[in-house]
Amino acid sequence: MREIDMSSQEFLDEVEKTKKFTDKVCKQFGWVYNPNEEVVEGVIMGLARHKLLYGKRFCPCYMVIEENGRFKSADDRICPCKPAIEKEIPQEGKCHCGIFCSPEYAKTHSH
């Protein structure tokens, strides 16, 4: 597997693209970012890294495995993932990785 230089222009560009992507996801679903900025930043970096390594924004909190020469995420978690949309955010207020949450969750969990 190739190494990714997190200070390279390629990675920084992908982080910018990923931020635009996650902004769109928030708008599309009516979600907000987790009030914990470190969580948000970490997940965005992980998503950008996975996009460069595997060609898809697999959730950084799940294993990515290679099967028959193709990459897939354990539990099929590609951001925004089905479990987050259907279950985690409606029921728990945030997704497993913690980047996205409901506005109500954000209000009660901000510092």
Alpha helices in the chain (DSSP H): 9-29, 37-54, 82-83, 89-92, 103-109
Model-level pTM?
A: 0.92
Q: What is the pLDDT of residue 110?
A: 76
DSSP result, 49-61: HHHHHHSS-B-TT
Q: What is the pLDDT of residue 67?
A: 86
Q: What is the pLDDT of residue 4?
A: 85
Q: What is the pLDDT of residue 69?
A: 87
| Domains defined along the chain, listed by start | 30-109 (3.90.460.10)
Q: What is the pLDDT of residue 104?
A: 96
CA dist., res. 101 & res. 41, Å (int): 14
* Cβ neighbours around 3 below 10 Å, total: 6
- Going residue by residue through the chain, which has 111 residues, state the pLDDT in tens, using 9 for 90 and above: 678 888 999 999 999 999 999 999 999 999 999 999 999 999 999 999 999 999 999 999 888 988 888 898 877 799 999 999 999 999 999 999 999 999 999 999 876
